[in-house]
Chain A
Amino acid sequence: MLVWVIYDIADDPIRKKVSDKCKNYGLYRVQKSVFLGDLNANQRDSLAIECEDLIDPEVDSVYIFPMDDESFRKVKLIGQAFDKELVSDEVLTTFF
């Protein structure tokens, strides 16, 4: 299922660690503190646990929102848009 990860983290090194985590799980960065991508329930849970270990719960926040396909189709993108096909794993072949 598609998952949005949105965070607000005060400390630079910790923020970097969280963003690396998201990237390693296969999420794509769609804004500075927003990641999006397709994860299964297990991956979603373990990402949540790993983020929880990293951040300072007194000051930081990380939101993990799952989103169903139907809602994702209704998403409106204005201005600098991300690649909808890439984040929803519809790209079968990537050439480099």
Chain B
Amino acid sequence: MQLVINSRGSYLKKQQNCFLVKNEDKVFEVSANKVESILITTSATITTDAIKFAVENNIDIVFLDHFGDPYGRVWHSKLGSTVLIRRKQLEIANKEQGFKLARGWIEIKINNQIEFLKDLKKNRPEKREEMDEYITNINTMIHKLLELDGVLDEARGTIMGIEGMSSRHYFNALSYIMPEKWKFEGRSRNPAVDEFNCLLNYGYGVLYSMVEKACILSGLDPYVGFMHTDNYNKKSLVFDLIEMYRIHVDRTVVNLFSKRKVKEEYFDKIPNGLSLNKEGKALLIQSLNEALDQSIGYHGRNIKIRNTIQYDCHKIANELIK
């Protein structure tokens, strides 16, 4: 299970082979065998014993900020894999191989968006025509993307442009199918100006931490990206790879709205926007975990969605050192 600490002032310690969390009025004890990861979304106290214990058991402790972005994680101080993968990663970044990889990721992302819109269209016959229009628009973007050729340095701007345009159509389509009360105007972050973006940003934040973990485990350098350029502390590869998985957060969030699970009480007003509070975070993280626990077909077998991230990263790493 994922242990989420979201009550202010909770205290996490190690007790024998278990983690023990407590606050003023309750205690929860769970064996390390049962915990996959620990997510800390609020102010809490952890003992160094508990940190060491988590590291020894390969349980990562992730700290999320107000917007759901991971601002830190506790992980062992080893590299996790061979440096050869990182060398190769740098080598191919400006070759055709790098270009094809990056283009493939964006292609997957845009195809996911089309698939999702088609699914949404099925249950909303009265909105079919408009939805078809959005889908056609995104389809043209895919064709443009597949025509591209060359190396990343030249094509980067074009790819980014195509991706941006298709996302604009996509989010317009999502806003179009939203219940009247929850419609939104495009994407906004830090802070989100509406409830939809608020949930979406938080979900993406949780996803970032999962993608980063998968990179580290497979020996890929999270900082050496292809689509995204280098910058101080910019996890470019995480930004590149997350594009393929955003759809799982999108689906979760849209589902929450269409099933009327979202309530106004889940959001707190902050200067210039909204932030998700304790109840809202609990709803989102729980639904996201349920969604990621579903199995899907993956290269001829069925695996859980959350594991596809790790498999993909291992595959990329293995290709690099072939």
Contact = CB atoms under 8 A, between A and B. Distances in A.
Asked if A and B bind, the verdict is yes
A58 interface: no
Contact of B4 (A20, A26, A94): A94
B44 to A, nearest CB: 9
Interface in A15-47: 20, 23-27, 43
A92 B4 CA distance: 10
A25 B33 contact: yes
Given A23-B16, A24-B17, A25-B33, A94 B28 contact: yes
B17 A92 contact: no
Nearest to A27: B31
Interface string B13-54: 000111001010010111111100000000000000000000
A35 to B, nearest CB: 11
Contact of A96 (B21, B32, B33): B21
A95 B28 CA distance: 10
Interface residues on chain A, size class? 10 to 19
A24 B31 CA distance: 5
Interface residues of B, number: 27
B30 A94 contact: yes
A12 B57 CA distance: 31
Interface stretch (B133-141, B153-161, B219-227, B285-293): B285-293
A20 B20 CA distance: 13
Nearest to B41: A95
Contacts of A89: 1, 34
Interface in B285-311: 285-286, 289-290, 293
A20 B285 CA distance: 31
Contacts of A92: 1-2, 286, 289-290, 293
Given A20-B16, A23-B16, A89-B1, A95 B282 contact: yes
Interface of A: 20, 23-27, 43, 89, 91-96
18 contacts: A20-B16, A23-B17, A23-B31, A24-B17, A25-B17, A25-B33, A26-B30, A26-B31, A26-B33, A43-B33, A92-B1, A93-B289, A94-B1, A94-B3, A94-B30, A95-B285, A96-B7, A96-B26
